[in-house]
Amino acid sequence: MGRMASSRRDLAVRATVDQGLLSPAEPVVALLDTAGIRASAAALTSAFAAVTDAPVLHAFAVKATPLVPVLRLLHEAGLGVEVASPGELALARAAGIPPARTVLDSPAKTPAELRQALALGIAVNADNLQELARLDALVAAAPTASPLGLRVNPQVGAGSIGALSTATATSKFGVAIRDEGARKAVVRAFLERPWLTRLHTHTGSQGVPLALMAEGVGETYALAEEINREAGGQQIDTVDIGGGLPVNFASDEETPTYAEYARLLAATVPGLLDGRYGLVTEFGRSLLAKHGTVLARVEYTKTSGGRPIAVTHAGVQLATRTVYAPGSWPLRVLAYDAEGRPRTGDLTVQDVAGPACFAGDLLATGRELPLLRPGDVVAVPDTGAYYFAHHYAYNSLPRPAIHGFTVDGDGAVSFTAVRGAQTLDEIVAEAGGARPDALVRQLSGAFR
Ligand SMILES: *Cc1c(COP(=O)(O)O)cnc(C)c1O
């Protein structure tokens, strides 16, 4: 890679303006740093290879960045995918991900979804005992190549963001194994089903400390050992440890690292890594977040109650979590001038607002930045996961174009389109534009 991610980003911002990808007519775009994504995939693979010889499938959680070219890039880098809906499975198939590299989780799989997954041979983790009963019928009806598992909730507690903590006492996910009678019921469910060969857990996302993640994995490993003892053999051959590595949104530093987490697992759950179990991981945010940047032009600047405000084209439609829950999801904002050069100058406390029509549409409040001017560019880094690929259609604002970029040794930047900007025709079509009379006709019918 050579260059640091921050210097690649500076070159890309300048080139985005130079090459006309960001302009008064197209005032917001998103960028993906292809080299950065490759580097994260390689770091993940080597981190686990350093602590275990067991086979490991690193299944990227598609929900983090549901973009077909991203899935294909990760597949080429040796990763698989974790999908949790028919839409995500369709994206994985469009990217050419083989069924053997695909894992289906989801707390609400329909019979049709389960049937399709089993017909394709995709690994399935059942969420609960009712779902196992559905699988009984499907497994009896037709042979399947799908490895089948059960998700458990080790109930080890919450991280700092409640909405993303999946291993609380009352989480909606998996079988809560500390509930009365639940552990016994899970062991029995396995003993009754020789085809059930995996355990799955996912302790949570952003905000869950590494030690708590490792504790959840440790509890799940202990249960696997117990089931195998009871079964008198290695019935459980694979443990899916989920994803959830937190991301540092405060600077360009990538911390914690996959290597730290892998070493922590090796120290705290050595038996899981000694080669008796295959592993599946399901990281999402930590693979993509640092490699995405939103760029938006400043349209106007003003002061209100003495506070300078820059009104930009990036707001709630791209940074939904940050706008609605700024305390949990702060994002950095970087200032560039109209040519895309880093803006220098005295730091001034200001608000950075989005384009949407509600007062809370702020990317940053009271942030110290060089004073922004109309035509300047703001960059919002760390938005490669759960941000610009998760468009929120407020005010019918269009989904922006997404460009992948690479930087060569001379600093020249090349772009490739990952997704085009949504057009006004598409917005109208998705809003029932082909049926303007649908409701009017219904009313006149009622009064006929
Ligand atoms: C969301 C999710 C993941 C990915 O979590 P990240 O925090 O993005 O790594 C993995 N597995 C399951 C089951 C999930 O729900």
Q: Is the C-beta atom of 284 inside 6 A of ligand 1?
A: yes
Quick one: pLDDT at residue 445?
A: 60
Q: Is the C-beta atom of 62 inside 6 A of ligand 1?
A: no
Question: CATH assignment of 34-288?
Answer: 3.20.20.10
Q: At what angle do helices 258-268 and 210-231 cross, to 10 degrees?
A: 40
- Rounded Cα distance, 178 and 169, in Å: 8
- Rounded Cα distance, 264 and 291, in Å: 25
Which residues are designated catalytic? 357
pTM: 0.96
Tens of each residue's pLDDT in the chain, 448 residues:
478 999 999 999 999 999 999 999 999 999 999 999 999 999 999 999 999 999 999 999 999 999 999 999 999 999 999 999 999 999 999 999 999 999 999 999 999 999 999 999 999 999 999 999 999 999 999 999 999 999 999 999 888 888 777 788 888 899 999 999 999 999 999 999 999 999 999 988 888 899 999 999 999 999 999 999 999 999 999 999 999 999 999 999 999 999 999 999 999 999 999 999 999 999 999 999 999 999 999 999 999 999 999 999 999 999 999 999 999 999 999 999 999 999 999 999 999 999 999 999 999 999 999 999 999 999 999 999 999 999 999 999 999 999 999 999 999 999 999 999 999 999 999 999 999 999 998 866 655 5
Classify 280 as helix, strand or coil.
Answer: strand
Q: Is the C-beta atom of 63 inside 6 A of ligand 1?
A: yes
Q: Is the C-beta atom of 286 inside 6 A of ligand 1?
A: yes
Q: What is the DSSP secondary-structure string of 306-366?
A: TEEEEEES-STTT-HHHHH-TTT-----EEE-TTSPBP-S-EEEEEEE-SSSSTT-EEEEE
- Rounded Cα distance, 280 and 272, in Å: 12
Q: Is the C-beta atom of 283 inside 6 A of ligand 1?
A: yes
- Rounded Cα distance, 332 and 367, in Å: 9
Question: Which of 278, 272, 263 lies closest to 51, judged by CA?
Answer: 263
Bridge partners of residue 281, in order along the sequence: 58
DSSP letter (8 states) at residue 162: G
Q: How close is the Cα of 71 to the center of ligand 1, in Å?
A: 15
Q: Is the C-beta atom of 64 inside 6 A of ligand 1?
A: yes
Q: Which amino acid is at 57?
A: L
- Rounded Cα distance, 77 and 91, in Å: 17
Q: Which atom of ligand 1 is nearest to the CA of 105?
A: 13
Classify 428 as helix, strand or coil.
Answer: helix
Which strand (E) or helix (H) includes residue 218?
A: helix 210-231
Q: Is the C-beta atom of 388 inside 6 A of ligand 1?
A: no
Residue among 205, 208, 390 to mutate when testing ligand 1 (max atoms within 8 A of CB): 205
Question: Which of 254, 429, 342 lies closest to 7, judged by CA?
Answer: 342
Q: How close is the Cα of 159 to the center of ligand 1, in Å?
A: 14
Q: Which atom of ligand 1 is nearest to the CA of 282?
A: 10
- Rounded Cα distance, 225 and 304, in Å: 63
Ligand 1, atom 8, lies closest to the CA of 284
Q: Which atom of ligand 1 is nearest to the CA of 245?
A: 9
Q: How close is the Cα of 427 to the center of ligand 1, in Å?
A: 30
Task: State the virtual CA torsion across 364, 365, 370, 372 in degrees, nearest 10.
Answer: 80
Superfamily (CATH) of domain 2-32+289-430 = Lyase, Ornithine Decarboxylase; Chain A, domain 1 (2.40.37.10)
Domain range annotation of the chain: 2-32+289-430, 34-288
